[in-house]
């Protein structure tokens, strides 16, 4: 079995699933895809934003009163991420390939490294929207993954169906 770990920024479109599968169409052994979707931590994001703005003093001891609202927001974020992962996995399965998936609240590269280690990943594909500034400074997921992993890392830009229609 040849294990490929996919780190995707958003749901894998039908076109992207086809592109990924085409990359491995001549493999002599079966391919298993491991889809990883990073999931935003709502509470940490709000606290980081408040701290970055230097307004933490205005909110007293933090977000104690808003914990239930943040927990509900996190449930919604997690649910959408799981649904995104499920649809992405199903698209790969519909193309005749073994696929599994999961979400992670860890930093994307940490989650990617752990998934590659756990799955015995032999290749990584990262699908993102263009991130020009991060790519220029080599701070994007792909360049970071290449520095941390000992397997081939391919960066693909996600297919944007809206731009394709124009």
Of 129, 113, 123, nearest in space to 24 by CA: 123
Q: Check if the beta carbon of residue 102 is closer than 8 Å to that of residue 141.
A: no
Confidence of residue 78 (pLDDT cuts 50, 70, 90): confident
Confidence of residue 153 (pLDDT cuts 50, 70, 90): confident
Confidence of residue 11 (pLDDT cuts 50, 70, 90): confident
Confidence of residue 161 (pLDDT cuts 50, 70, 90): low
Backbone angles phi, psi at 33, to 5 degrees: -100, 135
Q: What pLDDT, on the 0 to 100 scale, is given for residue 164?
A: 46
Q: What pLDDT, on the 0 to 100 scale, is given for residue 12?
A: 87
Residue written as tokens 């592109």? 19
Q: What pLDDT, on the 0 to 100 scale, is given for residue 156?
A: 66
**More confident: 129 or 19:** 19
Give the Cα separation of 62 and 47 in Å (integer).
8
Structure confidence by residue, pLDDT tens digits, 38-59: 886 544 444 444 444 455 455 5
Give the Cα separation of 34 and 30 in Å (integer).
13
């Amino acid at each position: 079995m040849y294990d490929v770990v996919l780190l995707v920024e958003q749901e894998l479109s039908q076109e992207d699933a086809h592109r990924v599968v085409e990359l491995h169409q001549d493999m002599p052994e079966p391919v298993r895809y491991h889809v990883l979707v990073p999931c935003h931590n709502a509470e940490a994001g709000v606290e980081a934003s408040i701290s970055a703005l230097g307004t933490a003093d205005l909110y007293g001891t933090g977000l104690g009163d808003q914990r239930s609202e943040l927990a509900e927001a996190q449930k919604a974020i997690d649910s959408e991420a799981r649904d995104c992962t499920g649809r992405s996995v199903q698209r790969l399965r519909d193309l005749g390939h073994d696929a599994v998936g999961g979400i992670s609240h860890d930093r994307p590269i940490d989650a990617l490294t752990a998934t590659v280690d756990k799955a015995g990943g032999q290749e990584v594909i990262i699908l993102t929207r263009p991130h020009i500034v991060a790519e220029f400074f080599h701070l994007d997921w792909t360049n970071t993954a290449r520095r941390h992993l000992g397997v081939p890392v391919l960066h693909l830009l996600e297919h944007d169906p809206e731009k394709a229609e124009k």
